[in-house]
Amino acid sequence: MAQHANPVMQRTPPVAIHADAPAEKLFITQYRCWTAGYSLCNRTCLNLARVVLQSYVTPCCVNTLYDAFHFFAFTMNTQAQKPIEWRPDACRYLCRDEYLALRLISSSQAGDFNEEVSAATDLLGMDEIHLLVTASRLLAHALKVRGFVFGPAAAPEDERSTSTQDAPPSRLTLH
């Protein structure tokens, strides 16, 4: 089950705070549509995901990407040990789970197994990540062959050991 991130005060990761490149924009928009759809049990959000895809890709690619996003979102939402968080589409900043999902897809595209494992484990809150990593790789490949290539989204080594809950106040995002 998904959960909307606290809009009052949310600590965001120090890297990839917002996504401005086309691949990242498409991914985050789809993530938010799918997660809101699961969270709110609202089919309209899932239909919106298809409409958004139609504005990014040719009609022959829509179903393939829609299915890949569906597999990824379904897997993520059903396997997570905690509610998956999301922000409204109008919000430019990412919450922790959005950042982790973006980091997972980026790592899958780059073939960075260690980063995939780290992001998937943090996102799901458990070590049984095989199905989510498979879904991530499928989606990452489907996006890449259609020209949606992600930039690196991994946190620097010194930031990995710092919990976002221990982040200094300068990293707070107020909405």
SS (H, E, C) 61-72: HHHHHHHHHHHH
Mean pLDDT of 65-88: 93
Inter-residue contact 105 to 139 (CB < 8 Å) = yes
- Domain-located, residue 164: no
Residue 113: CB atoms within 10 A of its CB come to: 11
Q: What sign results for the dihedral spanned by CA atoms 116, 100, 124, 49? A: negative
- Domain-located, residue 8: no
Domain residues for the domain of 63 are 15-151
Residue type present at position 17: I
- Domain-located, residue 43: yes
Residue 162 has pLDDT above 60, yes or no: no
- Domain-located, residue 158: no
Helix, strand, coil abundance in the chain, percent, nearest 5: 60, 5, 35
- Domain-located, residue 137: yes
Q: How confident is the model at residue 168 (pLDDT cuts 50, 70, 90)?
A: very low
Q: Is 156 helix (H, G, I), strand (E, B) or coil?
A: coil
In this predicted model, what pLDDT tens digit does every residue of 138-161 receive, in sequence order? Answer: 999 999 999 999 877 545 444 444
Which parts of 11-56 fold into alpha helices (H)?
22-40, 43-56
pLDDT of residue 153: 58
- Domain-located, residue 91: yes
pLDDT of residue 42: 87
Give Cβ neighbours of residue 50 (< 8 Å, ≥ 6 apart): 62, 66
pLDDT of residue 142: 96
- Domain-located, residue 162: no
- Domain-located, residue 174: no
The tally of domains found in the chain comes to 1
Pairwise CA distance, residues 29 & 52, whole Å: 8
Q: Is 147 helix (H, G, I), strand (E, B) or coil?
A: coil
How many secondary structure helices (H) and strands (E) does the chain include? 7, 4
The tokens describing 143, both together, are 């996006």
